[in-house]
């Protein structure tokens, strides 16, 4: 039963980190998206949250991707007087996405995903060894 709990927890971590990477990729893809009209809001960075849950069948603690919230930090301003979304002073509101921050978040999500994958691999090996011992 402990093997099943380990697999359930690791699998939930894989799903949660996969969702986190999807949100980060969306942020990176929209890092230079501007509003369509002058004075409009550009893309606003999305931030994933996580929630702890309990798998009732196995009793395993799991993690789930929670509500995705919007980052309320200020937009960046760029001086581009010829841009269609420029205000009367020639400034364009740019998304509040930092590619450096998003890249670091992506690296962290990938490493956490790999750690969960290693738990799944190690658990599968232990199950296989247990079966081999029981056969002997």
In 3D space, the residue among 30, 38, 35, 40 whose CA is nearest the CA of residue 81 turns out to be 38
At 73, give phi and psi (nearest 5°): -70, 160
**Among candidate residues 118, 38, 20, 32, the one with its CA nearest the CA of residue 83:** 38
Whether the predicted pLDDT of 1 surpasses 80:
no
Q: What is the pLDDT of residue 14?
A: 97
Q: Against a cut of 0.85, is the pTM above it?
A: yes
| pLDDT tens profile 35-52 | 888 878 999 999 999 999
At 80-111, the pLDDT tens digits run 998 888 888 989 999 999 999 999 999 999 99
With a pLDDT cut of 90, the percent of the chain lying above it is: 81
Average pLDDT, the chain: 93
Structural domain that includes position 26? 2-135
State the pLDDT at residue 106.
98
Number of domain units in the chain = 1
């Amino acid at each position: 039963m402990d093997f099943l709990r380990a697999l359930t927890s690791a699998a939930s971590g894989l799903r949660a980190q996969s969702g986190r990477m999807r949100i980060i990729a969306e942020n990176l893809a929209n890092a230079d998206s501007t509003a369509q009209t002058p004075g409009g809001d550009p893309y606003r960075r999305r931030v994933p949250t996580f929630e702890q849950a309990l798998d009732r069948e196995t009793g395993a603690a799991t993690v789930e991707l929670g509500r995705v919230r919007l980052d309320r930090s200020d937009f960046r301003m760029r001086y581009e007087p010829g841009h269609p979304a420029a205000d009367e002073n020639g400034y364009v509101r740019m998304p509040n996405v930092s590619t450096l921050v998003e890249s670091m978040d992506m690296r962290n999500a990938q490493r956490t995903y790999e750690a969960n994958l290693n738990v799944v691999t190690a658990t599968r090996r232990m199950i296989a060894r247990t079966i081999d011992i029981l056969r002997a």
